[in-house]
Homo-oligomer: A and B are copies of this chain.
Amino acid sequence: MLTQTIIQHLDAVRKQKPLVVNITNYVVMNNTANALLAIGASPIMAHSQQELGEMMSFSGALVINIGTLDSAWTPRMIYAVEQANVNGKTVVLDPVGCGASQLRTETSREIARLAKKLIIRGNASEIIALAGEQAQSKGVDALDSSDTALGAARSLVSEYGASVVISGATDYVVFKEQVVKLNNGHEMMPYVTGMGCTLTALTGAFAAVGDDTGLAAAAVLGVVGEIAAEKSRGPGSLQMNLLDELYQLDSSVLTKRLKLQ
């Protein structure tokens, strides 16, 4: 039944081609724009306060990623979230490196508090740090395994009314007392920069067509990443094949491959 819902959301993205506004980090702008295009959505990367109001009025969702955080950008992120709120749009927050610096932890919390409709996508260490528990991170990479972040995710669901996606070797989607576990993906994926950021961006596309859980994006990227990695000699090929597979993905492959419980 969950699988059917995921497929319906995938079809909806391809049919509606939703606009997704992204304020994201410099490292992954190209990849995440390409991933959104490959799945059928329409990315806008914008960060000027003078236009974010207009843009949120005709877009389907807002993605905020703090990967290369800068005090000059924080007010723009805040403003964009306010505009998403005014327009009733979902905000997808990627708290990159939350816990690795005070600045990142505090900025992530400020955005989470502000957003009315919120999905949080992070690795285990980021989710744990965002919830105020003690995380074991190494820079922007997680040292905690996904299941250790389940308690933190539940507390974020309750504190912010958010849905939470914990990504890692196993992904968990946590929303309203429900937990879905996803066992797709591939061990080569962490060797490509911004794989989590790509999941966050796709979550924005699915939110724009009505998936307020983050589940469809996690399912799609897990399956597609797995297929792409199987064809790849290394992370260079994987980055390329991932876009091809997002573009080629059909519902029968998704159904056959998907391991969720």
Using a CB–CB distance below 8 Å, which chain A residues touch chain B?
17, 19, 25-31, 33-34, 37-38, 42-48, 50-51, 54-55, 58-59, 67-72, 97, 100-104, 138-141, 190-194, 232-237, 239-248
Contact = CB atoms under 8 A, between A and B. Distances in A.
Nearest to A237: B244
Given A138-B19, A233-B244, A235-B243, A51 B34 contact: no
Given A139-B58, A191-B37, A239-B34, A48 B244 contact: no
Tallying the copies of this chain within the complex gives: 3
A45 B33 contact: no
A243 B234 contact: yes
Contacts of A34: 192-193, 235-236, 239
A38 to B, nearest CB: 5
Contact of A244 (B33, B72, B102, B235): B235
A140 B55 CA distance: 10
Closest 5 CB pairs of A and B: A236-B243, A234-B244, A51-B101, A234-B247, A236-B240
Contact of A141 (B30, B42, B140, B243): B42
A68 B47 CA distance: 7
Nearest to A241: B236
A82 B133 CA distance: 31
Contact of A55 (B50, B70, B139, B248): B139
Contact of A67 (B45, B51, B68, B72): B45
A191 B55 CA distance: 21
Contact of A43 (B37, B193, B242, B245): B193
Nearest to A38: B235
B193 A37 contact: yes
B100 A55 contact: yes
Contacts of A68: 29, 45-47
Contact of A38 (B31, B38, B54, B234): B234
30 contacts: A26-B45, A27-B29, A28-B30, A30-B193, A30-B194, A33-B193, A33-B194, A34-B193, A34-B235, A37-B235, A38-B191, A38-B234, A38-B235, A43-B139, A45-B67, A48-B71, A50-B71, A50-B102, A50-B103, A51-B102, A51-B103, A51-B104, A72-B72, A234-B245, A234-B246, A234-B248, A235-B243, A235-B247, A237-B240, A239-B243
